Amino acid sequence: MYNFDFEQPGSVDEAVAALQGEDALALSGGQTLIPSMKQRLNAPSKLVSLTAIEALKGVCPDSGQIAIGAATTHATVAAEATGYPALAALAGGIGDPAVRNRGTIGGSLANNDPAACYPAAVLASGATVVTNTREIAADDYFDGMFTTALEEGEIITDVRFPIPEKASYQKFEQPASRFALTGVFVAKYADGVRVAVTGASEDGVMRWAEAEAALSADFSAAAIDGLSVSADGLIGDLHGTPEYRANLIKVLTKRAVDAAS
């Protein structure tokens, strides 16, 4: 790790100001950024920690939705997002206890790892990503692997999830990292079903439109039977071919529908 400056402001405004400098990066739970700095793959001149900003923390249920502060840890979401059980279960299945007690939802979404879990929940829920300057709809937020709609210096403050009638997240773990080799989040709302897939596409998290249409008409695993997923554009690596991931998308979607509650 190279030397860097460190600031820990107490408010979002102070954090925004602190991020103005050259090569400054926001630090939340640090579960990706710190290891990459230790490997000298990332060398910010300054880290601005967001974890002392109390306004960014907490799970806040509201009528029909749940708002989660960006600096809320996975462990807290797992314990407190009881109004959205599928989301709580997703948070409780990320990484290991050490990761869950440091990593945050805002950090995960800002990083947008193509195999991370939270992006699937946000996209399948049609959630709103709220920043210090604006509100971004989930469909506009994710912009490919490790890329998002966030501008330089823009900070996520909270994420608002409309609570579905039924939902489930099915993660198939990559055996080494235990990130999602492929993960599927299915959420059923009064106005239709949304299906989001993580870990599979070279473009990062994505929706599966055919499944959404089929499930909106008939919310049953059998509704998926006739569909097929193209392997084009899917990830192939040591742990699975594109064809294997295409199969997982279908299998996991069916299992998510069966498990949805």
Partner 1 sequence: MPKDQGIGASSKRREDVRFLTGTGNYTDDINLVNQTYAHFLRSDVAHGVINGIDASAAEAMDGVVRVFTAKDFEGVGGVPCGWQVTDRHGQPMQEPKHPVLAEGKVRHVGDPIAVVIAETPELARDAAEAIDVDITELPAVVDMKAAVAEGAPKVHDDLTSNLCYDWGFVEENREAVDQAIKNAAHVTTLELVNNRLVANPMEPRVAVGDYNRANDEHTLYTTSQNPHVIRLLMGAFVLGIPEHKLRVVAPDVGGGFGTKIFHYAEEAFVTFAAKAINRPVKWTASRSEAFISDAHGRDHVTKIELALDADHKFVALRTDTYANMGAYLSTFAPSVPTWLHGTLMAGNYITPLVYVNVKAVFTNTVPVDAYRGAGRPEATFQLERVVDKAARELGMDPAELRRLNFIKPEQFPYDTPVAVTYDTGNYHATLDKALELTDYASFDTRAAESKARGKLRGFGIAHYIEACGIAPSNLVGQLGARAGLYESATVRVNATGSIAVMTGSHSHGQGHETTFAQVVADMIGIDESQVDIVHGDTARTPMGMGTYGSRSIAVGGSAMVRAAEKVLNKAKKIAAHLMEAADADIELKDGQFSVAGTDKSVAWGDVCLAAYVPHNYPLEEIEPGLEETAFYDPANFTYPSGAYFCEVEVDPGTGKVEVVGFTAADDFGNVINPMIVEGQVHGGVAQGIGQAMLENCVYDDNGQLLSGSYMDYAMPRASDLPMFEVDHSCQTPCTHNPLGVKGCGEAGAIGSPPALVNAVIDALHRGGYPVEHIDMPLSPSRVWNAMQSVK
Q: Which is nearer to partner 1, 43 or 55 (CB)?
A: 43
Among 4, 92, 247, 259, binds partner 1 (CB under 8 A): 247
In this chain, which stretch among 4-12, 23-31, 173-181, 226-234 interacts with partner 1, using CB under 8 A?
173-181
Of 6, 176, 191, 261, the residue at the interface with partner 1 (CB under 8 A) is 176
Q: Minimum distance from CB of 241 to partner 1 (Å)?
A: 6
Compute the least distance from the CB of residue 255 to partner 1, in Å. 8
* Placement of tokens 């880290």 in the chain: 47
Bridge partner residues of 128 (DSSP): 137, 160
Of 18-26, 132-140, 176-184, 216-224, the segment contacting partner 1 by CB under 8 A is: 176-184
Site for partner 1 in 46-85 (CB under 8 A): none
Ranges of beta strands (E only) in the chain are 5-7, 24-27, 46-49, 59-62, 65-69, 128-131, 135-137, 156-162, 166-173, 180-189, 192-198, 206-207
Q: Using CB under 8 A, which of 172, 185, 188, 249 touches partner 1?
A: 172
Contact 260, 168 (CB under 8 A): yes
Q: Give the tokens for residue 10.
A: 């107490």
| Residue indicated by tokens 């009881």 | 82
Q: Does 241 help bind partner 1 (rule: CB under 8 A)?
A: yes
Applying CB under 8 A, does 238 fall inside the site for partner 1? yes
According to the binding rule CB under 8 A, does residue 99 interact with partner 1? Answer: no
How far from the centroid of its chain's Cα atoms is residue 53's Cα? Answer: 21
Nearer to partner 1, 97 or 175 (CB): 175
Q: Is 247 helix (H, G, I), strand (E, B) or coil?
A: helix
261 makes contact with partner 1 (CB under 8 A): no
Q: Which of 4, 189, 219, 244 binds partner 1 (CB under 8 A)?
A: 244
184 binds partner 1 (CB under 8 A): no
Of residues 239, 253, 256, 260, which one binds partner 1 by CB under 8 A? 239
Contacts for 107 with CB less than 8 Å, ≥ 6 apart: 28, 29, 30, 31, 32, 33, 70, 71
- Tell me how far, at minimum, the Cβ of 110 lies from partner 1, in Å: 20
For tokens 């509201």, name the residue. Answer: 62
Phi, psi (degrees; rounded to nearest 5) at 240: 180, 140
Do the Cβ atoms of 212 and 200 come closer than 8 Å? no
Using CB under 8 A as the binding rule, whether residue 171 contacts partner 1 is answered as: no
Positions that interact with partner 1 (CB under 8 A): 1-2, 39-40, 172, 175-177, 181, 238-241, 243-244, 247-248, 251, 255
